[in-house]
Structure 1
Amino acid sequence: MIKNIIFDFGDIFVNLDKPATLREMEKHNISGFSGAILQKNLAYEKGLITSEEFLKAYGSEYNLEKDVVVNSWNAILIDFPEHRFEFIKELSASNQYRLFLLSNTNEIHIDWIKKNVPFFEDFKNCFDAFYLSHEINFRKPDAAIYKFVLDAHNLKPEECLFIDDTKENTDAATSLGLQTWHLDPASEDVTDLFTIKKELF
């Protein structure tokens, strides 16, 4: 029986254009990320380096101004459809499940969300806990991030449903005993949870 629902953020609530950052970089004659920059990206997502250090790394590697990096980095973020906020607000008000958010999100992206999504704070308040990778120094699909949430709230894996659009993330959760929904953002919407995964409830 599901008692706890753990949601990803991007392409679950916020619509993403995942190739957009590299597409923007190509406008500045950058065709791909170096190994060093990919490592910086991972470190930044885990909060192991600051936004300033992250932007300096891109400036040093590609000779880009900070605003160019920020704008390119944020190009991935499209919008947050309000019907998804209404869904989670109603689910929270029902008090039927404990709700958690668990997202690989960095500081530059969450700053954009705070600035551009007027209901963000109300959305955040719908959850029992709201975990962003850069704040807790873990990222999916590492097993440690799931264990962190389970241990912090004394959750039984079999009583948890984890929802994510990335298969390696749901596979990692499945291996730890959680129920999962690998949501396809091209054809599915989180608001259809109780129809698509009705067998779990």
Structure 2
Amino acid sequence: MLYIFDLGNVIVDIDFKRVLGVWSNLSGTPLATLSERFTMGQAFEQHERGEIGDEEFADKICAELGVSLSFEQFSAGWQAIFVGQRNEVVDIMQRLRTEGHRVVVLSNTNSLHCRYWPEQYPQVGESADRIYLSQELGMRKPEANIYRYVLEQEGTTPENTVFFDDNYDNIVGATALGITSIHVVDNKVIPAYFN
């Protein structure tokens, strides 16, 4: 079997409020104002596909939020998203590999985050046979092509694949291709699935 794990809120806990909290403190803009203005819009998607660089992304988000932050300040907030690793999921990934299954990570992410999380959470890379990242592939979930690409690279079929993701749209996208898809709504879902 091929097991595909998303990264954020599947293997590693993330909290976007932490990002806005840092930006609020650094810019003096109320958190409520930033929460109201922030959207995962076009710039966000372009950055996740690797279509725009980190500094251009930072400029666009700062403009959308109406804040003035240096690139270093922006980055400090952006990396605050990471909370901690879900060790029980890492253990399951390692066990699956020991049992002879193929285990990969498929994440909508960006080059800025990839400068941070592999160092902070080295066990993620050690527990996966391969890591597929949206900004390297030029496509992102829930686009059908990204799932097809992973299946093709792994030499397997949707019927022999299980996918875990916290984003419902990504689950819908994978399910449409015939992949068994599990919506990870909290940290109990994956351990419960394997019990």
Give the aligned residue type for 1:194. F
Identity %: 28
Give 2:181's aligned residue: 180
Q: How far apart in 2 are the matches of 1:6 and 1:191?
A: 15
Equivalent residue letter for 1:8:
D
Residues of 2 paired with 1:59 and 1:163: CA distance?
32
Q: Distance in 1 between matches of 2:182 and 2:147?
A: 15
Number of the residue aligned with 2:117:
113
Equivalent residue, structure 2, for 1:54 = 57
Tell me how far 1:92 sits from its aligned partner.
Answer: 1.3
Structure 2 stretches lacking a partner, 5+ long? none
Measured after TM superposition, the shift of residue 7 of structure 1 is: 0.8
TM-score, with length taken from structure 1? 0.82
Q: Distance in 2 between matches of 1:17 and 1:141?
A: 21
1:4-19 correspondence runs (5 A): 4-19=2-17
Deviation at 1:58, TM superposition (A): 4.2
Residue 128 of structure 2 is aligned to residue 127 of structure 1: yes
Cα distance in structure 2, aligned partners of 1:143 and 1:104? 13
Contact 2:19 2:80 in 1 (8 A): yes
1:191 aligns with 2:191: yes
Give runs of aligned pairs for residues 49-88 of structure 1, distance below 5 A. 49-58=52-61, 62-88=67-93
Amino acid corresponding to residue 95 of structure 2 in structure 1: E
Residue 60 of structure 1, CA deviation: 5.6
Q: TM-score, normalised by structure 2?
A: 0.84
Pick which of 74-83 and 49-58 moved more: 49-58
Work out whether residues 89 and 123 of structure 1, in 8 Å CA contact, stay in contact via their aligned partners in 2.
no
The number of aligned residues is 187
1:39 pairs, out of 35, 38, 42, with 42
Judged with a 3 Å threshold, the aligned counterparts in structure 2 of structure 1 residues 34 and 86 are, in CA distance, closer, same or farther, namely closer
Q: Distance in 2 between matches of 1:16 and 1:34?
A: 17
Q: Offset at 1:85?
A: 2.3
1:14 deviates by: 0.3
Distance 1:63 1:38 in 2: 19
State the alpha-carbon separation in 1 of the partners of residues 175 and 154 from structure 2: 18
Deviation at 1:22, TM superposition (A): 2.8
Of 3-12 and 24-33, the range deviating more from structure 2? 24-33
Deviations 1:65-124 (A, max 9, x none): 1122112112221011333323322221221x221211111122122213322xx1x532
